[in-house]
Amino acid sequence: MPLSGEAIRTMNYVDDISVTLRRILSTLPMLTDEEKARVAEHIKSADPSYETVVNAVSAK
């Protein structure tokens, strides 16, 4: 069964998120421990979180 345009677009969004996460990972070694802690807190408080979206996709 072929995917709808909306499903393909959504998968492209996931690819964009992966690129962003790779950029974050490549930047982390340049940050101080204090900066890493602040970035970690910012990621934890992001809404919606990646986990929230994964749970929504997995829900039946």
**Amino acid 54: pLDDT:** 93
Q: Is the pLDDT of residue 19 over 80?
A: yes
Find the DSSP H helices in 1-60.
Answer: 5-27, 33-45, 50-58
Range of the domain at 35: 5-58
Please state, in angstroms and rounded to a whole number, the distance separating the CA atoms of residues 51 and 26. Answer: 21
Q: Is the pLDDT of residue 60 over 90?
A: no
Our measurement of the distance from residue 11's CA atom to the centroid of its chain's CA atoms, rounded to an integer in Å, reads 13
Q: Is the pLDDT of residue 33 over 80?
A: yes
For the record, the structure tokens of 49 come out as 């979180």
Number of domains in the chain: 1
Global pTM value = 0.80
